[in-house]
Amino acid sequence: MTGHDTHQVAASLPEVLSELVASLPETHLAAWIKVLRTVGHPDAWTESHLVAAHPGAGLAPRAALLLASWKASDPQPPGQALALALEAASTRYETDLAVHHVEIAVSGPVSDAVPIRLTASVAIQVIRAATSTLLVTSYAAFGIQEIVSEIRAAADRGVSVDLVFETARSSGGRLHGGDDGRTAFHDLRFHPDVRLWQWANNERQGPGGRRGSMHAKVIAADRGTVLIGSANLTDNAYSDNLEIGAVIRDPTAVASLVDHFRTLMNSANGPLIRLPWAP
């Protein structure tokens, strides 16, 4: 069976709607629901209107898949019914997620092996869950404007935000492009509830004489939910690279992870020290 044949068999409208709810970030899904409410039946412009409603990587193939399955369905529901179905499925999906302790997140190619959500969607969900504290760590950070906006929104609602990044200087020139997280998060430099941290240079010498890198990738909301995995805070990692992560909803485990970083930050001699916004 060819890939084209497999695609045709798999692309029933209910299956496509389920896949969209599981993979699209919440903001994109809301934008698509808004568009569908204005559409009677799929026409030549519907796909482009969906893609333009909230631009992002990887949306065109999903919009095309939705349109193909919608056109092939019999009977063919109106756009308002499709919007309602997406909204209802999204509500149920979020309810089901709340009772699971571990959820898989991926970037790049997806498969039917396990229920997954895209890394960007999961990262936004975790950031929005924060009510008091947010811990974000990454080796590289550039682009990801939607993540920056979500972190700003968290800080604006009173969440205390700690960002831990590798720096261009401390990486010894290994950081891609020479920029570090200060560039990506430059717009937050004056926010009183956002603090930058780095691994001090003099604390990086390992027993073998090699220098360590700040390589952890963590987004922890309060002390109960964390996204941990391979993806850096970059557009490529969130949309193009093959990356794997997991969301853990376990207060005991997450509190231990957060306390680990708090201890590293609060030690009189480091190893995590405040990073000035200016390079």
Average pLDDT over residues 74-94: 89
Q: Which long-range contacts (CB under 8 A, 24 or more apart) does 27-32 make?
A: 27/54, 27/124, 27/146, 28/53, 28/54, 28/56, 28/59, 29/86, 29/90, 30/54, 32/86
Instruction: For residue range 190-219, list pLDDT tens digits in order.
Output: 999 999 999 988 777 777 777 788 899 999
Instruction: For residue range 151-198, list pLDDT tens digits in order.
Output: 999 999 999 999 999 876 554 445 555 567 888 899 999 999 999 999
Quote the pLDDT of residue 8. 43
Which segment, 82-96, 141-155, 173-187, is predicted with the most confidence on average?
141-155
Tokens at 174, concatenated = 């290994």
Which of residues 5 and 234 earns the better pLDDT score?
Answer: 234
- Domains (ranges, CATH) in the chain? 3-99 (no CATH), 116-274 (3.30.870.10)
Positive or negative, the CA dihedral 171, 173, 174, 178 is positive
Quote the pLDDT of residue 99. 63
Quote the pLDDT of residue 233. 92
204: Cβ–Cβ under 8 A, 6 or more apart, which residues? 170, 211, 212, 271
Average pLDDT over residues 126-155: 94
Quote the pLDDT of residue 177. 53
Distance CA 167, CA 182 (A): 8
64: Cβ–Cβ under 8 A, 6 or more apart, which residues? 47
Is the overall model pTM greater than 0.85, yes or no? no
Tokens at 267, concatenated = 């030690």
Average predicted confidence (pLDDT) for the chain = 85
Q: How far is CA 73 from the centre of its chain?
A: 32
Q: Are 164 and 272 in contact (CB under 8 A)?
A: yes
